[in-house]
Amino acid sequence: MAPSSDFGTDTGRRAASGWPYKLTGRLRGKWALPLAFSLAGALMAMTVTAVASTSSSGAPPGGSRAVRAHWNQEEGNGAVLVRQGKQTFRLDTFGDESFWGGTLHLNQTIAGASNGGIGPGLSPAAALALGLKVDVDALPESVQQGIVNGTVNLNDPATTLALLKLNAVVGVKGFFDSNGNLNSVGIECALCHSTVDNSLAPGIGHRLDGWANRDLNVGAIVAFAPNLQPIATLLHTDVATVDNVLNAWGPGKFDAALLLDGKGFQPDGSSAATLIPPAFGLAGINLHTYTGWGSIPYWNAFVAVLEMHGHGTFFDPRLDNAAQFPIAAENHFGHVVANPDLVTSKLPGLQAYELSLRAPAPPPGSFDPAAAARGKVLFDGPAECSTCHVPPIFTQPGWNLVPPGAIGIDSFEADRSPTHMYRTTPLAGLWSHQKGGFYHDGRFPTLLSVVEHYNQVFHLNLTPAEENDLVQYLLSI
Ligand code: HEC
Ligand code: HEC
């Protein structure tokens, strides 16, 4: 595929809209994706407009006027924003289908040759095995019954298309032409930051927003796309290497820095990907991400534009540092201006929604209360945990970054961030994301191994019984 043919119209549009940076020339043949304008994007904007105008305010949709109008509502600032944000978090692709479908052609391998695409297609069974989740509330009663009694064929890619038409695949949106063919596909925040409660069947249930989907094999899903050449070109490598890097991620992981610095592996040869964190329990916390890139709205703009490849404006001159971020600096990822901008007007709602998501309480019986009570005394006292993990937010109120040496680990991932630090992880809801391990790259398989690490690094002299008490406390918060 010649990427320039994909973006012919886009670059024309951008030039016409007075592009302020000298990057269209370089991007035209390569990676204009975060900026590309498309008809699908325009349709997306109309959809969002429709959503916004059904809100109670009747205010003009989109942009700051709408936000200001909402803030004046009797209902209160929060409620309307939270409702908008929920919609965005669950259903908005920010126009990123121009990348996942338009450039990588992921829609073709999902559909399969028998449905107008290529290859065997992606059956619901295979999709579930990749960790994708199905929202039971989007399924008509008859489909739910068919799944339970086996009359819905979960081995047929055509069923996947039917699920996409129902908007039932969490975090994935299908775009269909008038013949019912899947002509594009986009992703939403919920892909990685929601899962389901398995109420109908494994992988099929009610949405649990904010929960990290630790079953989701993002790398394998991206690698399933037929055209990885644009990623290889961007990274100055070949498709086989991109394939290797993606397939090394494994379930529950994603590498948000890959397209900035091109680093696929840690010095010891393990994958450079990080665990998908929860998007709940974040209220009151200053810096976000494992390495403290910025605030929630900072990171949401970053992700929507640079990772999901939605159409939005994003600034971060820190990415001009070519020594640290060679790929980002070369492509001016810190200076992205999109017109139309399908991201910025949604940042207030997204932030409000994320702040509204509380960490889920541990299920009764999932920890030993007496041991947890003893563990709390250790956590707040002799084990020194609360010097960094300050309850009830479990990170430092204020500046919540520490140098790698302070927690006795290497600086590889910290050095991939402008901060060169690690952010003290908020701990509420730990019980819900034990799969995949702990610390940014999952290096500690269990909470006990985390506590053993601290016991050693901080010379705490905790007995095995005390270590267990701490673990029980961690499971209770
Ligand atoms: C492909 C998977 C994926 C998608 C899609 C995704 N994220 Fe994330 N998200 C991650 C990963 C991985 C991290 C950790 C990044 C890091 O720390 O380096 C993260 C981090 C975060 C954090 C920081 C959490 C904390 O503990 O500070 C927030 C907030 C967040 N994402 C929100 C969003 C929103 C909102 C969207 C949609 C605009 C989104 N994410 C889309 C994978 C994803
Ligand atoms: C010097 C500050 C500091 C102290 C003291 C500290 N932590 Fe941490 N903690 C961190 C940082 C920073 C991280 C993130 C590390 C990473 O992701 O690589 C972290 C991560 C964790 C995690 C992993 C969370 C996750 O989701 O991956 C757990 C569990 C944890 N700490 C528990 C404890 C316990 C228990 C103690 C006391 C024995 C303790 N911490 C003491 C700073 C601290």
The rounded Å distance from CA 150 to ligand 1 centre is: 35
Instruction: Specify the long-range contacts of residues 365-369, CB closer than 8 Å, at least 24 apart.
Output: 366/431, 366/475, 367/431, 367/472, 367/475, 367/476, 368/472, 369/476
The rounded Å distance from CA 250 to ligand 1 centre is: 17
**Apex 388 CA angle, 473 and 451, nearest 5:** 45
Out of 330, 358, 386, a domain closes at 358
Residues 6+ apart with CB under 8 A from 179: 116
- Of 48, 222, 249, 299, best ligand 1 pocket probe by most atoms within 8 Å of the beta carbon: 299
Taken in order 344, 348, 349, 352, is the CA torsion positive or negative?
positive
- Given a contact cutoff of 8 angstroms between Cβ atoms, the answer to whether 264 and 245 are in contact is yes
CA distances from 13 to 9, 10, 384 (A): 6, 5, 57
The rounded Å distance from CA 79 to ligand 1 centre is: 23
Query: Between 77-91 and 347-356, two packed helices, what is the crossing angle to 10 degrees?
Result: 100
Question: pTM value?
Answer: 0.87
The rounded Å distance from CA 383 to ligand 2 centre is: 12
Out of 328, 358, 388, a domain closes at 358
Q: Is there an atom of ligand 2 within 6 Å of 173 CB?
A: no
Out of 326, 358, 390, a domain closes at 358
Q: Is there an atom of ligand 2 within 6 Å of 473 CB?
A: no
Structurally, the chain folds into a number of domains equal to 2
For a pLDDT cut of 70, what percent of the chain falls above it? Answer: 84
Q: In three state form, how does the secondary structure of 25-42 look?
A: HHHHCCCCHHHCCCHHHH
Q: Does residue 363 sit within a domain?
A: no
Question: Residue 234 corresponds to which amino acid?
Answer: L
CA 37 from chain centre, in angstroms, equals: 22
- Given a contact cutoff of 8 angstroms between Cβ atoms, the answer to whether 327 and 262 are in contact is yes
Q: Which atom of ligand 1 is nearest to the CA of 290?
A: 17
- Of 44, 86, 303, best ligand 1 pocket probe by most atoms within 8 Å of the beta carbon: 303
Q: Is there an atom of ligand 1 within 6 Å of 359 CB?
A: no
Whether 173 has a pLDDT exceeding 90, the answer reads yes
Task: Identify the DSSP state of 464.
Answer: H
Confidence of residue 78 (pLDDT cuts 50, 70, 90): confident
2 plus 131 within the same structural domain: yes
Phi then psi dihedrals of residue 352, to 5 deg: -60, -40
Give the model's pLDDT for residue 60: 37
Give the model's pLDDT for residue 77: 74
Can you say whether residue 461 is alpha, beta or left, with left for phi > 0 and alpha for psi between -120 and 50 degrees?
A: left
Task: Identify the DSSP state of 265.
Answer: B
Q: Is there an atom of ligand 1 within 6 Å of 88 CB?
A: no
Question: Relative to the alpha carbon of 439, which ligand is closest?
Answer: 2
156 plus 41 within the same structural domain: yes
Residue 275 structure tokens? 């665990």
Residues 6+ apart with CB under 8 A from 280: 209, 210, 211, 354, 357, 358, 359, 360, 428, 429
Q: Which atom of ligand 1 is nearest to the CA of 191?
A: 5
Q: Does residue 387 sit within a domain?
A: yes
For a pLDDT cut of 90, what percent of the chain falls above it? Answer: 83
CA 375 from chain centre, in angstroms, equals: 32
146 plus 253 within the same structural domain: yes
Give the model's pLDDT for residue 50: 31
217 plus 171 within the same structural domain: yes
Q: Is there an atom of ligand 1 within 6 Å of 304 CB?
A: yes
pLDDT tens digits, 447-475: 999 999 999 999 999 999 999 999 999 99
Average pLDDT over residues 123-139: 98
345 plus 399 within the same structural domain: no
- Given a contact cutoff of 8 angstroms between Cβ atoms, the answer to whether 107 and 98 are in contact is no
Q: Structural domain of residue 468, as residue ranges?
A: 369-476
The rounded Å distance from CA 230 to ligand 1 centre is: 23
Confidence of residue 23 (pLDDT cuts 50, 70, 90): very low
Q: Does residue 35 sit within a domain?
A: yes
pLDDT tens digits, 407-438: 999 999 999 999 999 999 999 999 999 999 99
pLDDT tens digits, 329-352: 999 999 999 999 999 999 999 999
- Read out DSSP for 227-241? --HHHHHHTTS-HHH
| Alpha carbon distance 226, 234 (integer Å) | 16
The rounded Å distance from CA 303 to ligand 1 centre is: 7
Q: Does residue 231 sit within a domain?
A: yes
Please provide the distance, in angstroms rounded to a whole number, between the alpha carbons at the two ends of the chain: 51
| Alpha carbon distance 302, 54 (integer Å) | 28
Give the model's pLDDT for residue 75: 58
